[in-house]
Amino acid sequence: MKQSAGRSLCCLLILALGVLCSGCATVSRYRSVSLRHRAYVSGEKHATAAEWRALISEFQETIDADPTGPTADDAQYAIASSWIWSIKAGDIEAPQHAIEAFQKLVRSYPNSRYVPQAHYWLGRCYTYIGDDYQAITQYQIVESRYAGSGVSDRAQLELARVYVRQGYLTRAETLYTNLIGSSAERKIIVAATQELQPLRTQPFKIQRKPIVSTPERMVQAQTQSRPQPVPPIPIPETKKTIPRAKKTTPGTKGTIPETKETTAGEKKPLTPESLTREFGLTAKTIVIDPGHGGKDPGALGRGALKEKYIVLSISEKLREVLTRKGYTVLMTRDTNRFIPLKERTAFAIQRKADLFLSIHANGSESPKAKGIETYYMSVTSTDKAAEDIAARENADSGYSIQELEVLLKGIIQQSKIEDSKRLAKHVQQALVQATGAVDRGVKHARFVVLIGTNVPAILIETGFVSNPTEGRKLTTSAYQHKIANAIAQGIEKFLGKTEEAPLVKRANPEFAATSAEGNR
């Protein structure tokens, strides 16, 4: 037995030494590739497009050898940055490969220190190929999630430039002004000041030229500023960027009470319909909450039809529409994962949302039930059916009795009820008009996901997955687009924006490239 134990120990030692040596070899090879990358970046050695591709292949081999190793995210960022440098070397496929590499970094290494930079450079790449919608999305991610990162100011500057090109001059002016007053980088302040001047002096005559990031401009921006060397690779980067309700009619009036004379001849003050209208407020950040997800499938239809997938798809389309209109749009989930109700509302509060939209699809024991209904939060429920829906949607909310009591007391004092009711009315009207679906009305109930927010918030039941006909419609891209556009139209009416917002205009890039699927 002693001999057997000795042999086992010896085998284990040999195996451990083998793994150690393999690890040492991987690290050694990684360092060698990094040194060559440094030489290319510094200009010490000129690199052709073929040499950049060879370098990228070697970085990929180090990742394949240890995908979860300590240098894996470094290598992935090096690959992405090498594709950026390849643009100057004349590789016409480089922008698309760079987009894919940065997306892989965000997807595979979500906790990497390079994630903010990855989103920023994704924006730059999308700008280069003329996809302004995707560029705006990436810059807004940096602005909202990574405000303290080294690329935050740079992302805001690029976002302002895209807004100018798309005609959102007020939003661009706000960004430029903020940068001038808060940025610690002189170059950004100077650029913002210079670009803001024509907006203020010629607000209606400004000549906007498409801003196309040429390879030279992208590389120049990388070489001009490096706040902190990224050990062990000096990668080029810039300095600072829920079954269900019976049909009822809406119970909202939506009008401002008329002024009445008192017996003493004094006039009672007008009760404002909402603070949003009274103060002419608008919305900058909108949070979309796709219901359910992960272990919670939501309402079920025939076959494999599940609410959680439908509402996620609708939410993604709604995000695209609202982003095109110039809003900063965030989603509580953009994958099939479960998020407690408490965390959904906390997400909106932490991101300083101006509006909160919870997207759902209905279900019923009766396959004949159909139609659209929109809810807002109130301390009472429209009817027993609305109360039942709220009970289902509130399941496993994550709140204790004491916490919920505090929330309910606070909601009575919130002016958001009238705002939410008006928002629900506009969205419901737009949805019914666009889809031709049965109008189940605007209702109110005690939804936890709406209680926890402190801004206008609504919950939209976009249709019944349990209805064979409506369920099939809800799975089609065309119908989902109708729903998304209608919700956006309702929001614009709520905010008093009845004019048509500018459509995204693509720039004319110097070469053709296929737009990659947006990072999720």
Which CATH number belongs to the domain containing residue 166 in this structure?
Answer: 1.25.40.10
Q: Could you identify the residue written with the tokens 């007391």?
A: 409
Quick one: 70 and 151 in the same domain? yes
502 neighbors 167 (Cβ within 8 angstroms): yes
Cβ neighbours of residue 365 under 8 Å, at least 6 residues apart?
243, 466
Quickly tell me which residue has 């205009």 as its tokens: 505
| Domain assignment present for 9 | no
Q: Residue 473 falls within a domain, yes or no?
A: yes
* 281 and 212 within one domain: no
CA distance 313 to 474: 10
Does 380 reside within a domain? yes
Taking the C-alpha atoms of residue 160 and residue 183, their distance in angstroms, rounded to an integer, is: 14
Bridge pairing between strands 457-464 and 372-377: antiparallel
Domain total of the chain: 2
- In terms of phi and psi (left: phi > 0; alpha: psi -120 to 50; beta: otherwise), the region of 230 is beta
52-55's contacts with Cβ under 8 Å and 24+ in sequence apart are: 52/82, 52/83, 52/85, 52/86, 52/89, 52/91, 53/86, 53/91, 55/82
- Is 61 inside a domain boundary? yes
Query: Is residue 313 domain-shared with residue 190, that is, in the same domain?
Result: no
pLDDT digits (tens), the chain, 520 positions: 445 554 554 444 444 434 444 445 556 667 777 888 888 887 788 888 898 899 899 889 888 888 888 888 999 999 999 999 888 888 888 899 999 999 999 888 988 999 999 999 999 999 888 888 888 888 988 887 888 888 999 999 999 999 888 888 888 888 899 899 888 899 999 999 999 988 887 644 444 444 344 444 444 444 333 333 333 333 343 333 333 333 333 333 333 233 333 333 433 333 334 444 444 456 788 999 999 999 999 999 988 899 999 999 999 999 999 998 888 999 999 999 999 888 888 898 888 888 999 999 999 989 999 999 999 876 554 555 655 565 555 555 455 544 554 455 444 444 467 788 899 999 999 999 999 999 999 988 777 767 767 788 999 999 999 999 999 999 999 999 999 999 999 999 888 764 333 333 333 222 222 222 233 3
Task: Look at the alpha carbons of 267, 268, 273, 275 in this order and tell me if their dihedral is positive or negative.
Answer: positive
Collapsing DSSP states into helix, strand and coil, what is residue 372? Answer: strand
On whether both 279 and 189 belong to a single domain, the answer is no
Same domain for 152 and 283:
no
**Pair 339, 458 in one domain:** yes
pTM above 0.95, yes or no: no
Q: Is 441 helix (H, G, I), strand (E, B) or coil?
A: strand
CA pair distance 346, 410, nearest whole angstrom: 16
Residue 13 covered by a domain? no
Residue 333 within any structural domain of the chain: yes
| 210 and 313 fall within a common domain | no
Does residue 363 lie in a domain region? Answer: yes
State how far the Cα of 200 lies from the Cα of 191, in Å rounded to an integer.
15
| Same domain flag for 56 and 202 | yes
Distance CA 38, CA 295 (A): 46
The residues, any chain, with a CB within 8 Å of residue 245's CB and separated by 6 or more, are: 362, 373, 382, 383, 385, 386, 388, 389, 440, 443
Residues 186 and 284 in one domain: no
Rounded to whole angstroms, what are the CA distances from 379 to 95, 338, 407? 53, 27, 11
Q: Same domain, yes or no, for 65 and 161?
A: yes
33 burial type by CB count under 10 A (0-12 exposed, 13-18 middle, 19+ buried): buried
User: Does residue 413 sit within a domain?
Assistant: yes
Domain of 149 in residue numbering reads as 23-224
Same domain for 83 and 210, yes or no, is yes
Query: Tell me, what amino acid is at 21?
Result: C
User: Do 217 and 281 lie in a common domain?
Assistant: no
Residue pair 71/78 in contact (Cβ under 8 Å)? The answer is no
Helix (H) or strand (E) holding 359: strand 355-362
CATH at 393: 3.40.630.40
